[in-house]
Amino acid sequence: MTQTENVPMTKETPFVPIEKIVSLAKRRGFVYPNSEIYGGVSGIYDFGPLGVELRNNIRRYWWWSMVQLNDNIVGIEGAIITHPRVWEASGHVENFVDRLVDCKNCKRRFRIDHLPEENLLQNRCPNCGGELMEPRKFNLMMETYIGVVEGERMKTYLRGEACQNIYLDYDNVLKSSRMQIPFGICQIGKAFRNEVTPGNFLFRQREFEQWDLQFFVHPSEMQKWFDYWKERRFEWYRGIITHKDRLRLRAHGPEELAHYAKQAFDIEYQSILGWQEWEGIHWRQDWDLSRHSQFSGQDLSYTDTVTKERFIPWIVETSGGVDRTFLNLLLDAYEEEPGEDGKEGRTVLHLNPMLAPVKVAVLPLQKNKEELVSTAKDIYNRLKRLMVAQYDDVANIGRRYRRQDEIGTPYCVTVDFDTLQDSTVTVRERDTMSQIRLPISELPAYLLERVIWH
Distance (Å) of CA 388 to CA 66, 216, 297, 373: 24, 37, 50, 19
Q: Cβ 136 to ligand GAP, closest distance in Å?
A: 20
Among residues 199 and 439, whose Cβ is nearest to ligand GAP? 199
Would strands 247-251 and 264-271 be described as parallel, antiparallel, or unpaired?
antiparallel
Cα–Cα dist 380/374, whole Å: 10
Among residues 162 and 356, whose Cβ is nearest to ligand GAP? 162
SS3 154: strand
Structural contact between residues 215 and 229, judged by C-beta atoms closer than 8 angstroms: yes
Structural contact between residues 358 and 388, judged by C-beta atoms closer than 8 angstroms: yes
Ramachandran area for residue 74 (φ above 0: left; ψ -120 to 50: alpha; else beta): beta
Among residues 201 and 401, whose Cβ is nearest to ligand GAP? 201
HSE (CB half, 13 Å, CA atoms) of 256? 12
Which is nearest to 241 in space by CA: 324, 350, 359, 404? 350
Nearest residue to ligand GAP by CB is 321
Among residues 156 and 319, whose Cβ is nearest to ligand GAP? 319
Q: Cβ 445 to ligand GAP, closest distance in Å?
A: 37
Q: Cβ 362 to ligand GAP, closest distance in Å?
A: 36
First to last CA, the chain: 22
Q: Cβ 261 to ligand GAP, closest distance in Å?
A: 8
Among residues 184 and 280, whose Cβ is nearest to ligand GAP? 280
Structural contact between residues 172 and 134, judged by C-beta atoms closer than 8 angstroms: no
Q: Cβ 28 to ligand GAP, closest distance in Å?
A: 22
Q: Cβ 208 to ligand GAP, closest distance in Å?
A: 4
Among residues 212 and 392, whose Cβ is nearest to ligand GAP? 212
Which positions touch ligand GAP (CB under 6 A)? 161, 163, 193, 195, 204-205, 208, 210, 212, 277-280, 317, 319-321, 323-324
Q: Cβ 249 to ligand GAP, closest distance in Å?
A: 13
